[in-house]
Structure 1
Amino acid sequence: MRVAFLVAPEGVEQSELTEPWRALEHAGHTPVLVSTDPGHIQAFQHLDKGDTFPVDETLADSEPGDFAALVLPGGVANPDFLRLDARAVAFVQSFFRLGKPVAAICHAPWLLVEADVVRARTLTSWPSLRTDIRNAGGNWKDAPVKVCEAAPGALITSRKPDDLKVFCEALLTELARHPDSPAS
């Protein structure tokens, strides 16, 4: 299955991009790096520059229906940039309208708040987003991973890089529940 990873041109937390990417590849899925601009994105390891990664598709060329799921890696700057981009917000909203799984880690739920898709859902995040999520109508829990099955589609969230193992396991479990996805 093709899985979109939506990231800004810079500011994504590298481990939150690379570890789920590797887990999906290892399980036979096809991760696709989607960004607002073509070229390469600049990842970060906390506040230090990390590696660069080639963009596979831009938002202008991507259709949510072409993917089985969406992964939103964190990093403070990454979701902050994306939540100001109407195309990124609409891209996220489309996955929820289509009932496709969405996985977000660390600060990435800021983009979910902006997309107005957390209302009545239970999720987790980096602790500083707790009030934003509650103010947007979500139910915030401090847990390594939360899987909210509220229709339509599942929302998988985690708090931080230390939770990546359980985050990846939950994402793979959710994808296995939908083996007939049209984006296979």
Structure 2
Amino acid sequence: MSEQESGLRARLIEVGVELVTREGVQALSLREIARRAEVSHGAPRRYFPTHLELLSAIARRGFADLGAKAAEALGDDTASPRDRLTVLSGVYLDFALSQRGMYELMFRHDLLESGALGLRDTSLPLFGMLVDLVARVRPEADARIVAGALWANLHGIAQLWGWGSLQLATGTDDFVPLLRSVLDAHVGPEER
């Protein structure tokens, strides 16, 4: 692939990232991405034979951004594993709520289930961070199972908070107490 071709491929992904960030996942059509990239409507097919392949490339960028935010937030390795788990969980929720369109795209089942797209493998390093921290906080537990349950809870908070359901049900406009409760339930109360 020539430098110009790889530049156009990267531009299509970038336009897709901008589009999903500003307008949501429903705006991600091949035609709209091509229009905003100022190329013919057939141009994306040269680099992404299917719409799912382009969506997967855009979602990979979301996983990379979330991973980078998590790594930056966890930079202080002197903090306790529980504190680091709290930070990682907060970063996940902040990303999910501030990047709703991207978050929705990242967890689309049709993208994750397609082995050919390899998107599921892109999400595993972040889950690995979660498993590692859970193992440090609860060494007696099956860390993968506890981390999976914790992740499911975080995902549920993100979805329900984004819809406004949790604010209505709990009467709060801050998800931090919910996050603390979820962490207490999965890894035990914070030591004081």
Q: TM-score, normalised by structure 2?
A: 0.28
Report which of the two has the higher share of helix: 2
Report which of the two has the higher share of strand: 1
Q: TM-score, normalised by structure 1?
A: 0.29
